[in-house]
Every structure is written in C-alpha cells, then in structure tokens.
C-alpha cells in the first residue's frame, strides 16, 4: 500500500504542478483582479453581452452535439454492421479526418463554404442560385465545422456499444416476427443507449471549450465562451473576468458530467 | 409418431463453404412429440435445429410443415417458438415486457397482452418478478423468461437450443422437471438440442442421435439405449463394455449371440446387464478382478478378460454378498439377447 502511494507520487506531483496550481491561480485571479470580491462574477453573469455569449455557446453546443451524435450513429452503423466493402470505406472516412489537424479542417471548410468557395461556385454553375449564399462568418459554418471535427469522437463509444449487442437478441426478435423498423427502434437502439449517452457526454464537453473552429468559421460574428476568454486575455486585458468565466465554464462542465453520469448509472440498472 | 409427421426433413444437408455441417438427414417429427437432438459438439444437431427454425437455409433437401414445403420460409413465417442458447432476452426490457414483445408484434389488444403475460408469468413461476430486468435475475429465472416469451404466442412447435447448459446441476434437474410438465400441459411439439445424454433420455419421447453431421439413430430412449444401431450410439449413450469377437467367441471362450453375427468384430454389453457367474454357466466369460470401487449402495468392478480387454459391472453391496478382492479369478455372464454386435 505504502509502496503504491510512493510510486504514484510523480504523477500526483505532475498533476499538481500542471493543473492544480494554475487552476488555483485562476481562482485567485477571479476573486482579486482588479478588485477583491465577487464583482467579476456578478459582471460576467449580469452583463447582457456575456450572457449572450453563454446562451449562444449552450445553443450551438447542443445543436452540434445532436448533429454529431446522430451522424455518428449512422456512420457507426455502417462501420460495425455494413458489408466488408462498406466497412473499409467507412473506416477510412472516419480515420482520415481524425488524423488531420483541427486548423487544416477549419480552413478546408472555409474554402468549401466561403462566398467564392467550391459550394457557391457549383450552385451558381448549376444555375440554382444567382448570388452567393452567406455560409461562413455565421453560426451555420461554426456548427458544420465543429460537428465535422467531433463526429469521430462520437463514433468510438457508439462502436463499442454496437459491438456489444448480442446478435442472438436481434435474431430472436426477427424470429418473433418483428419488422426491421421495430427491431431497430425497440431493440437495437435501446441496447446501444449507453453508447449514445457516452458519445453525447464526450461531444458536448469537448464542444463547450472549442476555440479554433468557431474563431475561424464564425469570423468574430459568432463568439463562443472560449473565444470570449481569449479576447479578455489578449485583446482587452481583463484577466479577472477571463478567470471568472473560466471557473464558471469549469463548474458548468463538471455539473453536466455529474448529471449525465447519474442518469447513465440509472440507465445501466 | 403419427402417420403424418408435423415436420418432415427430406435429405436435408448444410454446407458452410466446403465443410459439411449436415448430410442427408431425413426424419419426421410428430405433433406433440418431445424430440431430442443429441450428439457431441460439432455433430450438426444445432445446425439442424437452426434449419428447422428457419434461421438458416439448407444447402440441400427439403423441409415440410404439415405437408407444405417450408424450405425457403423465413423464421417469422414458420412461427415456431425458440429458446436460444444464452436466452437472448432483451436486456433493456422487464420480464413482463420481454414476454409481451411477440404479442405486441402480433398487434394483440392491450388487455389481451396483459392477460396472456400474467398467465405466462404464473405458468413459469415468476410471479413477483414481472418488473425486473434480466440482469437482476438468476440464470434459472432468465431461462424461465425465455421459455415464457417463446411460448407466449402459442407456437405449434417450440425449439430449444441447449437451454440448460449454463445452469448448475441441481437447477438443471429442476428445470428439466418443469419442461416435462410444460410439455405435458401444453401438448406443443418440443424439439430440444442437448449434448447431455441423461437429459435426453429423461425428457424425450424420441431421440435423434447425431455425429459428424449425420443422423446415427432415431428412436425412443429405450430403443436407442438398448438397441444401439452402431458403435458410436452404443458408446455415446451410457456406459458399455465392448469386447472383440473372434469366430463365435471371446478370448477363446465360446459365446452365444443373438441373431446372425458372422464376420462382425465387436460385442457390446451394458454393465447393468452383466452379472457375476460361476464357470460352466451359460455365456460365462472368465475374467480377473483388477479393482473394486466402493460407491455406497453398490461397487463398480473393473475387470480384465484373458485377452486383456477391460470391462466393468456394478455389484450391489449388502449382507450375504460375495466380496471379491483384486486379483480374484471370476466369471461374468449375460443373456444373449443383451449382447449386441457392433
């Protein structure tokens, strides 16, 4: 027992130095900069502009989570249960974007969606539209870019859940005369619920702290929490506000995690 | 078996790639019968059950249901009940919901479903467990749910794939009793796959014995046990002594045989049909006692013929019973009708 404690010391030391100390610094900053007290928190929570950012973040992250998990479910279904050819192709489509940096992917979507981008050009060439559609520097672009980035993260918990489904249960349902639709809705989907919850959790928590994609594809028109914190640190230095916002973000993510885990625990019973 | 079987297999075969899982199986299953498919693992018994159920299609031959060709019908069209190995219960549904599932598929009314579920829960002795999920149940209870679910929609035929293989010995005995009772009460045709010969003997009205994808013998438990068709069946079911035959005798001692056994190589006699005898008795074979294993009510004697072949028999323990010691020279005898040539 003593030896175990001794051996874990380096890890504890590392975590303490790299996470706990900076976090305590941030905590301290949030209560002291510029003046001691709760002014930073009350400002963050009452300022209409900041409130707007918080609501937008929650809204976009919810949409992104629903879109990513739904898309990932279909993709995972093809990957786990498709024919061998479909499986290989799907696997490539999951893995290749996964290995490409978040920055390249954001620029990729820019060149795809911008006013003179590929999509607008095609639509014009086909005579479907007269003037370019505004598809960047707005929430649409942010949602597309973030969902695309997060889909692979949703795929893995879903794949685990789908691989754990007992094939015989589905065969039994079929033998009892259930239609394919009924087998999916009443057997397969509920049997993969743990994967859906895991994927939702992972994607939502990831999306809340997203910075690069919303900053590039939102073009300053659709600022999310992480970008606001960046602004308060580097553009209009208000470190106390940035610290307070960070603490709120952390508590929010922690709270959501606890809530979902509890729900998950009930589902598993 | 009635003259018109409910289910009939005609020269049914199944190949997986080049592997012959099943070859040329022809048999009829009568209505209300309890047929066991018995054999070692890989013998084709489960493959045959899967084909009857319609969960896979045969590569050759024909399957008939009440005289109609059902070879290419999918499982749902056949409408048989099936208890899968490992039970295949819906893990996210309660006991009552599991049993109700096939009834909902059939779009029965809510009231009808509730009645039927209550009836099934009662029948398999799960009252009070209706709202539990399968994980909260013991293996035996899960087994009952699987039975109730498969019988809920009153199928004409119930197929069971090694339903008791995951249960411990006591529970197995109990579930076997219940299965006999259900069969008696319902009159449904049961087709039951097992590798446990005692289970098959105890439960079945007839037994089909499989080995290497071929049907070895089909008959009542008494028939297959007492008149095995070949050496595999003889050795697979229960204990048996096998002795080499040479020109009408064994190890130089002349032996009476029932029927004509010319040119055949081995004589098989069940240990319970052998008794200790004295030299000069009919069919008496001199043997030497190698070992005696005390089993309480009886002893198992391990014997050796003069040619060095092993055989065994059981001896009741009790007052006034001879108590031979290892090394003793004895004789064993049996009625000619109990010896069969294999």
pLDDT digits (tens), chain A, 269 positions:
567 778 888 888 999 999 999 999 999 999 998 888 899 999 888 999 999 999 999 999 999 999 999 999 999 999 999 999 999 999 999 999 888 999 999 999 999 999 889 999 999 999 988 888 899 889 999 999 999 999 999 999 999 999 999 999 999 999 999 999 999 999 999 999 999 989 998 999 999 989 989 999 988 888 899 999 999 999 988 999 999 999 999 998 888 888 877 876 665 54
Domains of chain B by range and CATH? 7-228 (3.40.50.300), 239-341 (2.40.50.140)
The shortest C-alpha distance from A84 to chain B (Å) reads 18
Nearest Cα residue in chain A from B77: A177
The shortest C-alpha distance from A194 to chain B (Å) reads 11
Is B88–A186 a contact, with Cβ atoms under 8 angstroms apart?
Answer: no
The set of residues, in sequence order, having a beta carbon less than 8 Å from that of B317 and lying 6+ positions away, is B294, B296, B297, B298, B299
Residue A29 maps to a domain: no
Q: What is the ipTM of this complex?
A: 0.82
Per-residue pLDDT, A262: 81
Residue A134 maps to a domain: no
Is B88–A169 a contact, with Cβ atoms under 8 angstroms apart?
Answer: yes
Residue A110 maps to a domain: no
pLDDT string in tens for chain B (342-residue length) = 446 899 999 999 999 999 999 999 999 999 999 999 999 998 999 999 999 999 999 999 999 999 999 999 999 999 999 999 999 999 999 999 999 999 999 999 999 999 999 999 999 999 999 999 999 999 999 999 999 999 999 999 999 999 988 888 888 888 899 999 999 999 999 999 999 998 999 999 999 999 999 999 999 999 999 888 888 998 898 888 988 887 667 766 777 776 655 556 788 888 988 888 877 777 888 889 999 888 888 888 899 988 888 899 888 887 766 677 888 888 888 888 888 887
The shortest C-alpha distance from A164 to chain B (Å) reads 12
Of B55, B76, B86, the CB nearest to A177: B76
The shortest C-alpha distance from A157 to chain B (Å) reads 18
Is B82–A166 a contact, with Cβ atoms under 8 angstroms apart?
Answer: no
Residue A57 maps to a domain: yes
Residue A119 maps to a domain: no
Residue A53 maps to a domain: yes
- A172 lies within 8 A of chain B by CB: yes
- The CATH number given to whatever domain includes residue A256 is 1.10.3720.10
Nearest Cα residue in chain A from B89: A169
Residue A125 maps to a domain: no
Residue A14 maps to a domain: no
- A181 lies within 8 A of chain B by CB: no
pLDDT in tens, A56-105: 999 999 999 999 999 999 999 999 999 999 999 999 999 998 889 999 99
| B chain contacts of residue A190, beta-carbon cutoff 8 Å | 92
Task: Give the count of domains, chain A.
Answer: 1
Domain that holds residue A252: 38-101+143-268
Nearest Cα residue in chain A from B81: A176
């Amino acid at each position: 027992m003593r030896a175990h404690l001794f051996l874990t010391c380096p890890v504890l030391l590392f975590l303490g130095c790299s996470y706990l100390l900076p976090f305590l610094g941030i905590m301290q900053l949030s209560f002291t900069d510029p003046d001691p007290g709760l002014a930073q928190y009350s400002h963050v929570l009452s300022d209409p502009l900041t409130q707007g950012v918080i609501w937008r973040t929650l809204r976009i992250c919810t949409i992104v989570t629903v879109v990513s998990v739904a898309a990932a479910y279909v993709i995972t279904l093809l990957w786990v249960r498709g024919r061998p050819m479909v499986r290989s192709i799907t696997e490539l489509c999951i893995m290749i974007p996964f290995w490409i940096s978040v920055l390249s992917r954001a620029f990729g979507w820019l060149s795809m969606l911008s006013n003179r981008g590929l999509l607008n050009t095609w639509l014009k060439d086909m005579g479907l539209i007269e003037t370019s559609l505004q598809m960047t520097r707005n929430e649409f672009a942010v949602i597309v870019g973030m969902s695309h980035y997060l889909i692979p993260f949703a795929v893995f918990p879903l794949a685990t859940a789908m691989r754990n489904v007992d094939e015989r249960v589905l065969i039994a349902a079929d033998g009892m005369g259930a239609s394919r639709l009924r087998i999916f809705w009443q057997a397969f989907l509920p049997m993969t619920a743990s994967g859906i919850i895991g994927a939702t959790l992972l994607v939502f928590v990831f999306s809340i702290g997203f910075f690069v994609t919303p900053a590039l594809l939102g073009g300053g028109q659709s600022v999310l929490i992480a970008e606001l914190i960046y602004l308060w640190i580097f553009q209009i230095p208000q470190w106390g506000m940035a610290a307070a916002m960070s603490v709120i973000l952390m508590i929010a993510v922690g709270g959501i995690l606890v809530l979902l885990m509890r729900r998950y625990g009930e589902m598993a019973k | 078996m009635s003259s018109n079987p409910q289910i009939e297999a005609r020269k049914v075969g199944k190949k997986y790639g080049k592997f012959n899982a099943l070859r040329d199986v022809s048999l009829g299953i009568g209505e209300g019968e309890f047929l066991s498919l018995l054999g070692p693992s890989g013998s084709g018994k489960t493959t045959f059950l899967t084909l009857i159920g319609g969960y896979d299609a045969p590569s050759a031959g024909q399957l008939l249901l009440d005289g109609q060709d059902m070879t290419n019908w999918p499982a749902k069209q056949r409408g048989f009940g099936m208890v899968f190995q490992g039970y295949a219960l819906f893990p996210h549904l309660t006991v009552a919901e599991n049993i109700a599932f096939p009834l909902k598929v059939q779009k029965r009314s809510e009231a009808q479903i509730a009645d039927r579920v209550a009836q099934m829960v009662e029948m398999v002795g799960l009252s009070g467990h209706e709202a539990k999920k399968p994980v909260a149940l013991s293996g035996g209870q899960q087994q009952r749910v699987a039975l109730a679910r498969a019988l809920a929609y009153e199928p004409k035929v119930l197929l069971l794939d090694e339903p008791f293989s995951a249960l411990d010995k006591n529970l197995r005995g109990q579930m076997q009793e219940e299965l006999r009772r259900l069969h008696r009460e319902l009159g449904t045709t049961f087709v039951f796959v097992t590798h446990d010969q005692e289970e098959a003997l105890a439960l079945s009205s007839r037994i089909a014995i499989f080995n290497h994808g071929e049907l070895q013998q089909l008959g009542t438990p008494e028939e297959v046990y007492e008149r095995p068709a070949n050496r595999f069946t003889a050795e697979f079911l229960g204990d048996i002594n096998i002795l080499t035959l040479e020109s009408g005798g064994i190890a130089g001692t002349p032996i009476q045989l029932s029927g004509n056994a010319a040119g055949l190589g081995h004589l098989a006699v069940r240990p319970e049909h052998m008794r200790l005898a004295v030299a000069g008795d009919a069919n008496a074979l001199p043997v030497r006692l190698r070992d005696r294993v005390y089993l309480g009510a009886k002893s198992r004697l391990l014997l050796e013929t003069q040619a060095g072949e092993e055989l065994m028999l059981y001896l009741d323990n009790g007052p006034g019973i001879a108590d031979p010691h290892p090394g003793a020279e004895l004789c064993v005898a049996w009625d000619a009708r109990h010896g069969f040539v294999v």
